[in-house]
Amino acid sequence: MPQLTYLEAIRQGIWEEMEKDPTVFCLGEDIGIYGGAFKVTDGFIDRFGPERVIDTPIAESAIVGAAFGASLTGMRPVAEFQFMDFIACAMNQISNMVAKTHYLWGAPAPLVLRGPSGGYVHGGPFHSQNPEMWFVHNPGLKVICPATPYDAKGLMKAAIRDNNPCIFLEHKYLYRRIKEEVPPDDYIVPLGKARIARAGRDLSIITYAALVHTALEAAGALSKEGIEIEILDLRTLAPLDQEAIVQTVRKTSKVIVLHEHSRTGGIAGEIAAIINERAFDDLDGPILRITGLDSAVPFSPPQEHHYLPQVADVIEQARKLKSY
Amino acid sequence: MSNHRNKPSPNGKRQHKSSTRTYSIPDYRLEVPDYIVRQVRSGDEFRYEVEGDLNTPVPPIRDSNYLSKQQCIEIYRYMLLNRRMETALENLYKQGKVVGGVYFGLGQEACSCASAYALDKDDWFAPMIRNQGSLLVRGFRASDTMMQYMAKAGSPTKGRDGTSHFGDIEKRNMVSPISMLGDLIPVLSGVALGARLQGRNIAVMTYIGDGGQSTGVTYEGINFAAVQNLGLVLFIESNLWAYSTPSEMQYQVKDLAERAIGYGIPGVIIDGTDACQVYDAAREAVERAHGGEGPTLIEAKMMRMKGHAIHDAADYVPKPLFDYWKKRDPITRFENYLVREKKWLSAKENADLIAEVERVIEEEREIAVNSPMPTPESAEGGVYCEDGCHVIKPKYGLPKVRTTKSSAGPKQTEAAVHLK
């Protein structure tokens, strides 16, 4: 089985869907001859032509609007954002037009809005954000945050086939850093199903995307101390796999929620509330949060390092919770 | 183009050489109003004042190059339906049967009805809040809009939204508007893009006001349609007032149709109270769209003859301006044209037509009033399109896929953006 990077797996997922389904097409800034800022769509224009690989003006609202309009005619557009930070420019289209459309007037909007998000690359405040919560709080959207090449391909294919608007956040730190065997087959990873990235008995870390790897590294170190961590990779934040959250709490009784985005109003608060409602009696300690700070993501490496959760933070908090 | 730069002249001084380009914006109006609205201080208060010649004679209707007698009468009937429906809504509001406000298209019925009338069956449209007449032309019933205003279970959105905020992607090809202005423009452009990928050049019509065109997404949407050469037919309804702000405070160009030059697309000016001018401009734009010739911007000049919504008495509007435009009422003028000038309708036929329209509106009103309110629980569900709720398929046929020689997979190049 071929080894693919996270980026190559995403590329393969889109490519396969375009080969299979002529209603799938791509649009975005610099995605054609240039192949996209991160080269996710490199070579697509040569294979599928400029009709299906459309270079757009720098106009995020127009990109989302056009994708949505095309989806109303039965197309399945895949729109790239050069950085997910810039998706803010299209927020009205996404929040008020796209997300509400099925609930209000019964029109499905099968489209994918994808692009790189996340920090650890010194991208500065406008190229490092994790905007997933902006969308989680907009009912009607699906929010997808893969952690592995296998999942990235399978979730991308599922997102393209889904009849709902999907926000697909590709963690740019992972693009070319991780590699694994990815089947060249036509498979999907269903949306809304979390996975156990590591089984353990002592405490659970609930996380997703790049921080799955941070948690795995911490778990490896803690294992030597006899602390066995279970890691739940959420895969999608909307829909959220509540069952999987409840099950891991029942198993370990101790929970850390780990995410990159700012602490206040983050997914950790929501997960803590779900555990409170559904598994309070199973808890044997406080639910801990390890998160980004309540500020913009700073540029300078020492500052960014301080802002973002690190392996050492996870180890420290896990030890603390284990001994509670 | 290469001669655009200033070259030094032999005596060492820079020679300022320029070329002048001219662009034409056809203006089909038979009258060009000559007045301006300004903010003036009056005692302790500021108010709006109109200055200019407001005593000019009412212009005639311009004969259509395309419409038959029968088609003119049909458009006239839709305009009557449009107005009577809004009168019925005003009465329902006064009876306490409307949830929220009522928005009127009074004075704009020619623009709503004659524009939508120019579309073919496979074309798409999206109305703005005042284009309730467009909905009637495209086959929605007056009771649909009435039930929306009354938040009834039988409304197209089953109570979930009001006013003209509904759509139909199956039969009538309508995108539901949202309250934010300008966002429909890229969406309609995308509809045309989707259809073109399926092998069809369709026309996609939407509207924006002289206020709404100030938004950034308006620029993004028109520019997208322009560079992609999509069949957008955009009506700028210059109705002089954006809520309480006059157009003088909304933009600096003389006419908004001039913006077309900046987009690189054709722009025309018409009298929005003249149904024939509206239809002809719309039809020509629709035919350009069908021919794959790209977008058209049509500026329709008229005035919003009521407040922003029913709560707003519009007492900020100088009264002489109301008087001026009342004489240019689109229905009265079209009625005169059909009955007196063309003699296409006898007085009796006209009276019968009006009576028939009133009967229809009364029946529609009954249907709307008798629809139940939705159950509280019907607020739930439908957030996502679940399995089996819709089958997604291309509306105009499966896109033809270009076959290229390149059978290789995607390229494996290095990242262009180097982040550590």
pLDDT, tens digit (0-9, with 9 covering 90-100), for B230-245? 999 999 999 999 999 9
Query: Which H/E stretch holds residue B296?
Result: strand B296-301
Closest approach of A253 to chain B, Cα-based (Å): 33
- The arithmetic mean of pLDDT across residues B248-254, rounded, is 95
- The arithmetic mean of pLDDT across residues B312-321, rounded, is 96
**pLDDT at B413 (0 to 100):** 56
C-alpha to C-alpha distance for A87 and A79, rounded to whole angstroms:
11
Residue to substitute from B158, B183, B398, interface A, most A β-carbons within 10 A: B183
C-alpha to C-alpha distance for A100 and B172, rounded to whole angstroms:
20
The 10s digit of each residue's pLDDT in A66-124 is 999 999 999 999 999 999 999 999 999 999 999 999 999 999 999 999 999 999 999 99
C-alpha to C-alpha distance for B337 and B276, rounded to whole angstroms:
10
**pLDDT at A264 (0 to 100):** 98
Q: Do A92 and B217 touch (CB under 8 A)?
A: yes
Closest approach of A321 to chain B, Cα-based (Å): 33
Give the percent of chain B with pLDDT over 90: 90
Q: B257: closest CA among B226, B278, B285, B236?
A: B236
C-alpha to C-alpha distance for B354 and B332, rounded to whole angstroms:
13
Q: B235: closest CA among B262, B197, B203, B194?
A: B203
Shortest CA distance from A90: residue in chain B? B217
**pLDDT at B409 (0 to 100):** 66
The 10s digit of each residue's pLDDT in A109-166 is 999 999 999 999 999 999 999 999 999 999 999 999 999 999 999 999 999 999 999 9
**pLDDT at B337 (0 to 100):** 98
Give the end-to-end CA distance of chain B in Å, rounded to a whole number. 43
**pLDDT at B403 (0 to 100):** 62
**pLDDT at B6 (0 to 100):** 47
Lowest mean pLDDT among B101-105, B235-239, B415-419: B415-419
C-alpha to C-alpha distance for B118 and B255, rounded to whole angstroms:
24
Q: Is B304 a catalytic residue?
A: yes
The 10s digit of each residue's pLDDT in B165-174 is 999 999 999 9
Number of domains in chain B: 1
By DSSP bridging, strand A229-233 and strand A195-198 are antiparallel
CATH fit for domain A3-181, picks 3.10.300.10, 3.40.50.970, 1.20.140.10, 3.40.50.300: 3.40.50.970
Q: Which letter does DSSP use for residue B72 in this model?
A: H
Domains in chain A: boundaries: 3-181, 195-322
Enter the pTM of the model. 0.95
Q: A256: closest CA among A191, A320, A174?
A: A320
- The arithmetic mean of pLDDT across residues A164-182, rounded, is 98
B109: containing domain = 34-55+67-375
Model confidence at B406: pLDDT above 90: no
Q: Is B308 a catalytic residue?
A: yes
The three-state secondary structure class of A179 is strand
Q: Provide the chain A residues 207-236 that lie in CB contact (below 8 A) with chain B.
A: none
The CA dihedral of A172, A176, A178, A179, to the nearest 10 degrees, is 140
pLDDT, averaged across chain A: 98
Closest approach of A272 to chain B, Cα-based (Å): 24
pLDDT, averaged across chain B: 93
A81 at interface of B, judged by CB pairs closer than 8 A: no
Contacts of A95 (CB under 8 A, 6+ apart): A138
Residue to substitute from A6, A8, A64, A72, interface B, most B β-carbons within 10 A: A72
Tokens of B103: 């928005």
**pLDDT at B11 (0 to 100):** 60
- Read off φ and ψ for residue B196, nearest 5 degrees: -65, -40
Tokens of A116: 């790189």
Model confidence at A51: pLDDT above 60: yes
Option in B220, B395, B400 nearest A62 (CB): B220
HEC secondary structure over A79-109: EECCCHHHHHHHHHHHHHHHCCHHHHHCCCC
Option in A49, A69, A104 nearest B187 (CB): A69
Model confidence at B416: pLDDT above 50: no
Closest approach of B406 to chain A, Cα-based (Å): 6
Residue to substitute from B384, B400, B412, B414, interface A, most A β-carbons within 10 A: B384
C-alpha to C-alpha distance for A27 and A15, rounded to whole angstroms:
14
Shortest CA distance from A109: residue in chain B? B385
Residues of chain B with Cβ-Cβ distance to A54 below 8 Å are 228
Q: Do B402 and A49 touch (CB under 8 A)?
A: yes
A58 at interface of B, judged by CB pairs closer than 8 A: no
Q: Do A65 and B390 touch (CB under 8 A)?
A: no
Give the percent of chain B with pLDDT over 70: 92
B9 neighbors B2 (Cβ within 8 angstroms): no
Tokens of B324: 């001026």
Tokens of B19: 């070329």
- Fold match flag (A3-181 vs A195-322): yes
Using the Cα atoms of residue B317, residue B318, residue B323 and residue B329 in order, give the sign of their dihedral: negative
Q: B284: closest CA among B356, B221, B229, B235?
A: B235
Residue B350 burial by Cβ neighbours in a 10 Å radius (0-12, 13-18, 19+): middle
**CATH assignment at residue B51:** 3.40.50.970
CATH fit for domain A195-322, picks 2.60.40.10, 3.40.1400.10, 3.40.50.920, 3.40.640.10: 3.40.50.920
Q: B178: closest CA among B155, B206, B158, B154?
A: B206
Q: Tell me how many degrees the CA angle A114-A115-A116 measures, rounded to the nearest 5.
A: 150
Catalytic: which of B84, B138, B259, B304? B304
- The arithmetic mean of pLDDT across residues B188-213, rounded, is 98
DSSP character string of A92-153:
HIIIIIITTHHHHH------EEEEEE--SS---TTSS--THHHHHTSTT-EEE---SHHHHH
A171 at interface of B, judged by CB pairs closer than 8 A: no
Confidence of residue B387 (pLDDT cuts 50, 70, 90): confident
- Residue position matching structure tokens 């009834």: B152
Residues of chain B with Cβ-Cβ distance to A47 below 8 Å are 404, 406-408, 410
C-alpha to C-alpha distance for B336 and B136, rounded to whole angstroms:
23
Q: Do B188 and A69 touch (CB under 8 A)?
A: yes
Catalytic: which of B308, B328, B333, B365? B308
Model confidence at B418: pLDDT above 50: no
Q: Do A56 and B224 touch (CB under 8 A)?
A: yes
C-alpha to C-alpha distance for A247 and A256, rounded to whole angstroms:
14
Q: Do A93 and B224 touch (CB under 8 A)?
A: no
Residues of chain B with Cβ-Cβ distance to A171 below 8 Å are none
Q: Do A57 and B389 touch (CB under 8 A)?
A: no
Residue B313 burial by Cβ neighbours in a 10 Å radius (0-12, 13-18, 19+): exposed
Q: Which letter does DSSP use for residue B188 in this model?
A: H
Q: Tell me how many degrees the CA angle A74-B131-A95 measures, rounded to the nearest 5.
A: 50
Option in A25, A72, A106 nearest B197 (CB): A25
- The arithmetic mean of pLDDT across residues B116-129, rounded, is 98
Residues of chain B with Cβ-Cβ distance to A122 below 8 Å are 419-420
Q: Provide the chain A residues 109-138 that lie in CB contact (below 8 A) with chain B.
A: 109-110, 121-123, 127
Confidence of residue A188 (pLDDT cuts 50, 70, 90): very high
Report the b/e string of A121-149 with b at 16+ CB within 10 A: bbbbeebbbbbbbbbbebebbbbbbbbbb
Inter-CA distances, B215 with A231, B181, B210, B219, B223, Å: 46, 7, 10, 7, 13
B266 neighbors B284 (Cβ within 8 angstroms): no
Q: Do B419 and A123 touch (CB under 8 A)?
A: yes
CB atoms within 10 A of CB B408: 9
A264 at interface of B, judged by CB pairs closer than 8 A: no
Contacts of A320 (CB under 8 A, 6+ apart): A288
Catalytic: which of A122, A127, A137, A306? A127
Model confidence at B412: pLDDT above 50: yes
- The arithmetic mean of pLDDT across residues A297-316, rounded, is 98
**pLDDT at B401 (0 to 100):** 85
Q: Do B406 and A47 touch (CB under 8 A)?
A: yes
